[in-house]
Amino acid sequence: VSGGRAWLVSMGAAALVLVLLGAHMATMHLNDLLGLGDVLAWTSVSERARSAAQTGAYVLLLGAAFLHGGLGAQRVFREWLAPAAAARVNRMLTIVLGALFVVGTLAAVTFHAGAGA
């Protein structure tokens, strides 16, 4: 993402991370208060993996986190390095984060498919 929308996308992704991470923290650490039972038990994990909504949320969180973190890191490199070097590093960063997103998504989808089988 570049141009005038980069800041907007970064802020939107931050808001999404806040909501999804909040849901994650509430689920994993307030489980007793919320009556969610033993969320770390294998059956609970497997049940969440079977849920398409949960898998979608994981992928969304991964994407939002990479987008927000990636755009932030790109700004840091632009201020830290010379313009040409920053452009090279940022291109590499985009490729690496893109690849990690694909791997993370494949892992989540594979787990979802495996748990449902």
Partner 1 sequence: MTHESVELHIERESGPRTYRVPRTPGMTVLDALIAIRERQDPTLVWRHSCRMGICGSCAMTIDGRPGLACNTQIATLPDGPVRLAPLAHLPVLRDLVVDTAAASRARDALGTRLERRDPRETEPGGAGTYRQSDRELTGFLQFAYCIQCAACVAACPTAALDETFPGPMALAGVQRWNADPRDEGAGTRSAALGDALAGCHLAGECSRVCPKGVDPALAIQRLRRSEVLGALGLRRGRGSRLHSEGSPGALPDDAPKAPTRTVLPGER
- Which of these ranges, 2-10, 23-31, 57-65, 97-105, lies near partner 1 under the rule CB under 8 A? 2-10
Tell me which residue has tokens 């999804």: 20
Name the phi and psi angles at 61, rounded to 5.
-65, -45
Contact 10, 67 (CB under 8 A): yes
- Which of these ranges, 31-39, 53-61, 75-83, 104-112, lies near partner 1 under the rule CB under 8 A? 75-83
Count the site residues for partner 1 by CB under 8 A: 15
Site track for partner 1 across 34-73, x = CB under 8 A: -------------------------------------x--
Tell whether residue 80 is a contact of partner 1 (CB under 8 A): yes
List C-alpha distances in Å: 102 to 6, 62, 69: 21, 10, 16
Instruction: Show the CA angle centred on residue 83, arms to residues 81 and 86, nearest 5°.
Output: 55
The minimum distance between CB 8 and partner 1, in angstroms, equals: 5
Question: How far is residue 117's CA from residue 96's CA, in Å, rounded to a whole number?
Answer: 31
Binding site for partner 1 (CB under 8 A): 2-8, 10-11, 71, 75, 78-80, 83
